[in-house]
């Protein structure tokens, strides 16, 4: 059996905080549903999906009341991996079928509340065989025997993924539900943030297959220094910036693997040291590698706050010698310019040309994008390469203003390009 997915719910009142927390602490996927406002893909809910996708690297599942294909399309284009649709009392089966044909049945899940096994099976088979659904999300009270029997029945009889829902953070209860249903995943709707890595370690002890860190090489095969430690270089997982150097013992390495947070050995205090326990500046593991001699670890992490005790982002903030060189990352330049444009949008400045464009609205911005595109064509017919360079820069700036106006980010653009590539 594949690993069981742990899928916590994102609360509408703390979207970015929950998304970042769960992404860092071991969730496999995320679930979003705002019962107060989610009607027909309302724009604020689409914006919420985009905010989650921008914050977290893991897939997002969205529960939605939809009536039209356009509602589903908005959510998938916003970044939803799966759209979970309630058909009870809604005339939306044409939208379901069109979405299934367009995006694939595996992205469209049925929200099922029927807990009688036989009736649930009839509904599930109809949904899968006739209506275009590619998965089932079963809601109900895990304390009821019918709910557990239904989940287990669907898992056996319907050849699509079945995910159960529960409103509990009790590790024993979650383990019991998963043992009895053997579902592909469980959506957990709880009020307080849940440490998914801790939950997974508990489920692992119950012999349940969950996705935890497992080292490809035994610590016994590491080549340690004279103190019985391995140096560990830690860097930001996205920018590649080197953050710090520390040392790991067997105990700290094993604790890092189990918790998903970087744990070192403090040589000065002679004790294990989980980075962030005092400062809150945790380092969440994204990847651990080892060099060709098995004597140095490289950790790629999501750094919260500063890595250095001085308050600097990196411990390596002082130059000893330096030759002048251009170390600008082209992609980071795009991001920096775009962030400046976003700042102007959120904090207008008098006399700012960017704010002038935002004030005039999308038609003015589109007019400028069109003009600058034409200027590129004209410049390309001219042998002066500098002119073409200037016009491309003007076009990219106005394009980024349009992106900001339309709430599109570079991450969305690069993700789409990567998918096509």
Q: What is the CATH number of the domain that holds 413?
A: 1.10.287.1080
User: Is 317 part of a structural domain of the chain?
Assistant: no
Check whether residue 196 and residue 232 sit in a common domain. no
Helix (H) or strand (E) holding 330: helix 330-346
The answer on 84 and 178 residing in a single domain is: yes
Tell whether 211 is covered by a domain: no
Residue 89's Cβ-side half-sphere holds a number of Cα atoms within 13 Å equal to 2
Is 80 exceeded by the pLDDT of residue 388?
Answer: yes
Asked whether residue 199 falls in the same domain as residue 227, the answer is no
Distance of alpha carbon 60 from alpha carbon 10, whole angstroms: 9
Are residues 170 and 61 part of one domain?
Answer: yes
Asked whether residue 143 carries a pLDDT value surpassing 80, the answer given is no
* C-alpha of 371 from chain center: 37
- Measured CA to CA, the distance from residue 219 to residue 360 in angstroms comes to 62
Long-range contacts of 145-151 (CB under 8 A, 24+ apart): 146/115, 146/116, 146/117, 147/115, 148/177, 148/180, 148/181, 149/117, 150/114, 150/115, 150/116, 150/117, 150/120, 151/177, 151/180, 151/181, 151/183
Contacts of 401 (CB under 8 A, 6+ apart): 341, 354, 357, 358, 365, 368
Total domains present in the chain: 3
Q: Does residue 174 sit in the same domain as residue 251? A: no
Domain that holds residue 342: 330-420
Q: Same domain, yes or no, for 341 and 384?
A: yes
Residues 6+ apart with CB under 8 A from 345: 354, 355, 358, 404, 405
Q: Which phi and psi (to 5°) does residue 49 adopt?
A: -60, -45
pLDDT digit string, tens, across residues 188-208: 999 889 999 999 999 999 999
Domain contains 64 = yes
Q: What is the model's pLDDT at position 418?
A: 84
Same domain, 259 and 385: no
pLDDT surpasses 60 at 41? no
Asked if 392 and 336 sit in the same domain, the reply is: yes
Q: Considering the domain boundaries, does residue 311 fall inside one?
A: no
| Structure tokens given for 305 | 């706050």
Q: Which token pair is 185?
A: 């995943």
Domain end marker among 167, 183, 205: 205
Note the pLDDT of residue 144: 76
Round to whole Å and give the CA distance between 299 and 303: 11
User: Are residues 281 and 153 part of one domain?
Assistant: no
pLDDT digits (tens, 9 = 90+) for 323-359: 888 777 787 889 899 999 999 999 999 999 999 999 9
Domain-located, residue 266: yes
Give percent above pLDDT 70 in the chain: 98
Q: What is the CATH number of the domain that holds 170?
A: 3.20.20.70
Q: Please tell me the predicted confidence (pLDDT) of residue 52.
A: 94
* CATH code for the domain of 247: 3.10.20.810
- pLDDT for the residue 36: 65
Mean pLDDT, residues 357-380 taken together: 95
Q: Among 66, 51, 138, 60, which Cα is nearest to 99's? A: 66
Return the pLDDT at 2.
86
Same domain assignment for residues 198 and 229: no
Contact by Cβ (8 Å): 400, 337: yes
Determine the average pLDDT of the residues in 128-141: 91
Percent of the chain with pLDDT over 90: 70
* pLDDT value at 38 more than 80: no
Do residues 134 and 231 share a domain?
Answer: no
The residue out of 205, 229, 254 marking a domain boundary is 205
- Mean pLDDT over each residue of the chain, to the nearest integer: 91
- 320 lies in a domain? no
Among the candidates 142, 172, 205, a domain finishes at 205
Tell whether the model's pLDDT for residue 240 goes beyond 60: yes
For the chain, the farthest-separated pair of C-alpha atoms sits apart, in whole angstroms, at 78
What are the backbone angles phi and psi of residue 150, rounded to the nearest 5°? -65, -45
Q: Does a structural domain hold residue 54?
A: yes
Burial of 319 (0-12, 13-18, 19+ CB in 10 A): exposed
Q: How many residues does the chain have?
A: 421
Residue 324 maps to a domain: no
Report, as an integer, the average pLDDT of 413-420: 84
The answer on pLDDT for 40 being more than 70 is no
- pLDDT at 67 (0 to 100): 81
114 and 244 inside one domain: no
Contacts of 377 (CB under 8 A, 6+ apart): none
């Amino acid at each position: 059996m594949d690993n069981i997915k742990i899928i916590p719910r994102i609360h509408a009142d703390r979207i970015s905080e929950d998304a970042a927390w769960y992404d860092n602490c071991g969730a496999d996927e995320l679930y979003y549903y705002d019962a107060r406002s989610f009607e027909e893909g309302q724009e604020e809910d689409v914006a919420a999906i985009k905010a989650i996708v921008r914050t977290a690297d893991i897939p997002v599942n969205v529960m939605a009341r939809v009536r039209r294909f356009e509602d589903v399309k908005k959510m998938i284009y916003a970044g939803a991996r799966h759209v979970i649709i309630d058909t009870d009392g809604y005339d939306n089966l044409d939208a379901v079928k069109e979405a299934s044909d367009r995006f694939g049945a595996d992205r469209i899940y049925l929200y099922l509340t029927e807990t009688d096994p036989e009736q649930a099976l009839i509904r599930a088979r109809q949904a899968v065989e006739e209506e275009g659904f590619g998965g089932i999300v079963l809601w109900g009270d895990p304390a009821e025997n019918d709910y557990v029997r239904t989940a287990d029945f669907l898992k056996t009889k319907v050849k699509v993924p079945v995910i159960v829902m529960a409103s509990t953070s009790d590790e024993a209860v979650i383990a019991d539900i998963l043992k009895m249903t053997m579902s592909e995943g469980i959506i957990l709707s709880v009020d307080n943030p849940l440490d998914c890595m801790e939950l997974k370690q508990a489920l692992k002890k119950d012999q349940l297959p969950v996705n935890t860190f497992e080292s490809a090489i035994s610590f016994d095969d590491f080549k340690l220094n004279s103190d019985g430690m391995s140096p560990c270089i830690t860097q930001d997982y996205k920018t590649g910036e080197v953050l710090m150097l520390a040392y790991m013992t067997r105990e700290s390495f094993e604790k890092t693997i189990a918790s998903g947070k970087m744990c070192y050995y403090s040589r000065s205090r002679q004790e294990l040291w989980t980075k962030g326990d005092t400062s809150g500046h945790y380092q969440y593991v994204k990847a651990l590698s080892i060099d060709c001699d098995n004597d140095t670890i490289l950790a790629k992490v999501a750094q919260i706050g500063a890595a250095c005790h001085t308050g600097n982002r990196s411990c390596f903030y002082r130059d000893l010698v330096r030759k002048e060189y251009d170390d600008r990352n082209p992609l980071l330049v795009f991001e920096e310019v775009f962030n400046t444009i976003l700042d102007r949008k959120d904090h207008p400045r008098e006399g700012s040309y960017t704010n002038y464009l935002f004030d005039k609205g999308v038609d003015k911005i589109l007019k400028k994008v069109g003009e600058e595109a034409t200027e590129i064509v004209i410049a390309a017919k001219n042998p002066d390469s500098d002119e073409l360079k200037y016009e491309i820069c003007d076009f990219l700036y106005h394009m980024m203003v349009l992106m900001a106006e339309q709430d599109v980010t570079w991450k969305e653009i690069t993700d789409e390009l990567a998918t096509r590539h």
